[in-house]
Amino acid sequence: MTELNEADRASRDAVIRALLPLVPQAGWTARGIAAALRDAGLPEEEATFLFPRGPVGAIEAWLDLADREMAEAAGDLSELRTPDRIRALIATRLRQAGPHREAVRQALAVQSLPWNVGSALRTVARTANAMWHAAGDSSADFSWYTRRASLGAVYGATLAFWLRDESEDIGPTLDFLDRRLAGLARVGKLRRRCSTARAA
């Protein structure tokens, strides 16, 4: 994704916010981006600069914005245990995505296309990293990668469940998340025991 200065990133964020209500009808398309640029008071020609990869770039820009908004909305998590911090961050992310469920669904459909797999992997990795960063993780060893890969898998499964969850709140989705996090904790304990046994 293109690195922008603060002013240009603010413009890109404004276009994304204008685009989200249009996605259910217009989709993640060049036509939708053009309409969002007009709504944001920007010339349509800015699309090439703000979203050089077109609709896929717009999806990546949205997920980048969502990562930042998630971390800001979650606030200070220092008094929580690490699993509870991760749970709070994922819950925050899903609640913020609530008004844009169809945009999420269509974004996943676009990213699932074979030629967009690279984009999907990048955004999942970036979101997992944003969550761990907001949770206060400062690891610099191999666990940096394994934690992010594991969290990416948990978040992806939880997001898929959330898209099928038709309840008025996200309670069932959070129950699903709790089960996934509990399973992840059991795997982590087993790995530590195996490592200890090998070292003995």
pLDDT of residue 183: 80
pLDDT of residue 118: 94
pLDDT of residue 29: 97
Q: Determine the structural domain holding residue 55 and report its residue range.
A: 6-199
pLDDT above 60 (res 192): no
Q: How confident is the model at residue 101 (pLDDT cuts 50, 70, 90)?
A: very high
pLDDT above 70 (res 200): no
Domain CATH number, residue 50? 1.10.357.10
Residues 6+ apart with CB under 8 A from 55: 27, 28, 29, 30, 32, 33, 110
Residue 158 in domain: yes
pLDDT above 80 (res 180): yes
Residue 173 in domain: yes
pLDDT above 90 (res 41): yes
Residue 1 in domain: no
Higher pLDDT, 141 or 61: 61
Q: How confident is the model at residue 95 (pLDDT cuts 50, 70, 90)?
A: very high
pLDDT average, residue stretch 84-108: 96
pLDDT above 60 (res 198): no
Number of domains making up the chain: 1
DSSP the chain: -----HHHHHHHHHHHHHHGGGHHHH-SSHHHHHHHHHHTT--TTHHHHH-TTHHHHHHHHHHHHHHHHHHHHH---TTS-HHHHHHHHHHHHHHHHGGGHHHHHHHHHHHTSGGGHHHHHHHHHHHHHHHHHHTT----STHHHHHHHHHHHHHHHHHHHHHH--SSSSHHHHHHHHHHHHHHHHHHHHHHHHHHHHH-
- The whole-model pTM stands at 0.87
